[in-house]
Amino acid sequence: MFARIARTIGDDIRRGRLRPGARLPGSRRLAESLGAHRNTVLRALAELQAEGWLETAPGRGTFVSARIPAERPRRASELRVPRDPGRVGFALPRASREGPPPSSAPLPMGGGTPDVRLVPTAELARALRRALRDTSLLDYGDARGDVALREALARHVARTRGVAADADDVLVTRGSQMALDLLARSVLSPGDVVAVEAWGYRAAWAALRASGVQLVPVAVDRHGLSLEHLDRVLASHAVRALYLTPHHQYPTTVTLSAPRRLGLLERARRHRFAILEDDYDHEFHYDGRPVLPLASADDAGVVIHFGTLSKILAPGLRVGYVVAPRPVLERMTRARVFVDRQGDLVLERALAELFEDGEVTRHAHRMRRVYHARRDAMATELRAAFGDALDVRVPSGGMALWVRTESAVDVASWAARALERGVFFQPGQRFAFDGRAQPFLRLGFAALDDLERQRGIAILRETWR
């Protein structure tokens, strides 16, 4: 009611019915004429006074302000707009053209996306409401992230990944992409050489290039990163860091073998380069036990380990984390203050509660069973639909299949035709460092239920040639 009264009086002032300097009736008379409680009227007048529409003179009364706030919208004809909205009147530096792939297709089979419909939203909502009761979380806080979540993540990586850590060894970020960007700002300098897998994640490469580094590709085979090729790169370049996805290599899904893991750690110690270990989907390993990350065997302080909650829960939450030597985290924290100041402390506290209650672990276990079944079903249905035309190899983990096609198939054109029918998948050339056409495609199985997956495969079959 007070808002309606304030809005009515404000409208009369805007229309000129109440002129600047005009005296308003007393609050008692105004309340009687409006049929409202006097306190309601007083609250409405206080609101208008705070907005600058009214002013009070002690002993004289309440008056329409002599200086009316300028709220009249300007006509389009009064605005000076440039003739060409796309014209920039100053020089822009060269920027990367890399962008996220389209994600609005009705049947997203791009790979790497969880089924957000299965997220325990009721539990998350209750945890958010409880977190909001602590109003200190609405103020500026620790740029490293809420201490409760950092403690929960430290216990999580210790239990599931064998990485010894406590809260001071963890930095919470807005997803793993921010983690990589902060790492590039903190441990790399323009002109540094960074080795990357020759098959990989273009958004990660773009984040590294943004810091001015030179990227050098290293071959990947069925056992992961090739140490033989890495040795040739080390012989010809002063490598400052190596970025890789050793658990489920992105996009090929292969796991870096144990001998190569030990060899890679030894080379990092000897050549003194940093290993940027992106452990983006550790929880979803279906055949045997997950392989422990490189960070679990690092005794020389060469591994910077980072991950995300986007796969366990949902990408829209934008929560990632970094476990690294503390001098590195201190640099990253200072860089983060300039970019983002801090994360969403309310959300972080709520997620900490879900970790403490065991809800995150239970949800991960549920999703592992669901995605395991979806992986096997997609592989079976693809083989039935395409026969020998597709080489479908079932990965030991992850959320997508890496499929080889007949060499005569134009995978990029196939992807375009499928997208017109509502199915999105990514051709292999999107992941190739040289960007050349490749007889591969990546098909995600986690985000679709049985009916959606079957409809998507039917469209893939129809648009194949």
Count Cβ atoms within 10 A of the Cβ of residue 356 and give its class: 0-12 exposed, 13-18 middle, 19 or more buried: middle
Q: Structure tokens of 389?
A: 């035309």
DSSP state of 35: T
pLDDT at 125 over 90: yes
Q: Structure tokens of 453?
A: 């997956």
Spatial distance between the Cα atoms of 445 and 378, rounded to a whole number of angstroms = 7
Q: Structure tokens of 207?
A: 């984040």
Tell me if 162 sits within 8 A of 168, measured CB to CB.
Answer: no
Q: Structure tokens of 131?
A: 């977190």
Tell me if 96 sits within 8 A of 209, measured CB to CB.
Answer: yes
Spatial distance between the Cα atoms of 185 and 340, rounded to a whole number of angstroms = 14
The CB-based long-range contact list for 35-40 (8 Å cut-off, 24+ gap) reads: 36/1, 36/5, 40/1, 40/2, 40/5
Q: Is the peptide bond before 58 cis (omega within 30 degrees of 0)?
A: no
Q: How far is CA 3 from CA 24, 35, 43, 61, in A?
A: 17, 15, 9, 21
pLDDT at 347 over 60: yes
Q: What is the mean pLDDT of residues 290-310?
A: 92
The CB-based long-range contact list for 147-154 (8 Å cut-off, 24+ gap) reads: 148/348, 148/349, 148/352, 148/353, 148/356, 149/348, 149/349, 149/351, 149/352, 149/355, 150/321, 151/352, 152/351, 152/352, 152/355, 152/356, 153/321, 153/355, 154/323
Spatial distance between the Cα atoms of 312 and 282, rounded to a whole number of angstroms = 9
Spatial distance between the Cα atoms of 220 and 243, rounded to a whole number of angstroms = 13
pTM for the full model?
0.80
In this predicted model, what pLDDT tens digit does every residue of 151-210 receive, in sequence order? 999 999 999 999 999 999 999 999 989 999 999 999 999 999 999 999 999 999 999 999
Q: In this predicted structure, which of 9-13, 202-206, 262-266, 446-450 has the lowest mean pLDDT? A: 9-13
Res 98: pLDDT: 62
Q: In this predicted structure, which of 97-106, 204-213, 342-351, 424-433 has the lowest mean pLDDT? A: 97-106
In this predicted model, what pLDDT tens digit does every residue of 54-98 receive, in sequence order? 888 887 888 888 877 655 544 544 445 556 777 777 888 776 666
> Which domains, from first to last, does the chain contain?
2-64 (1.10.10.10), 107-112+362-462 (3.90.1150.10), 119-357 (3.40.640.10)
pLDDT at 24 over 90: no
Tell me if 403 sits within 8 A of 382, measured CB to CB.
Answer: yes
Instruction: Please calculate the CA angle 237-206-312 and round it to the nearest 5 degrees.
Output: 110
Token pair 């389209």 in the structure block, residue: 102
Q: How far is CA 224 from CA 199, 207, 261, 279, 307, in A?
A: 10, 22, 10, 14, 19
pLDDT at 392 over 80: yes
Res 55: pLDDT: 87
pLDDT at 370 over 90: yes
DSSP state of 443: E
pLDDT at 406 over 80: yes
DSSP state of 25: P
In this predicted model, what pLDDT tens digit does every residue of 262-279 receive, in sequence order? 999 999 999 999 999 999
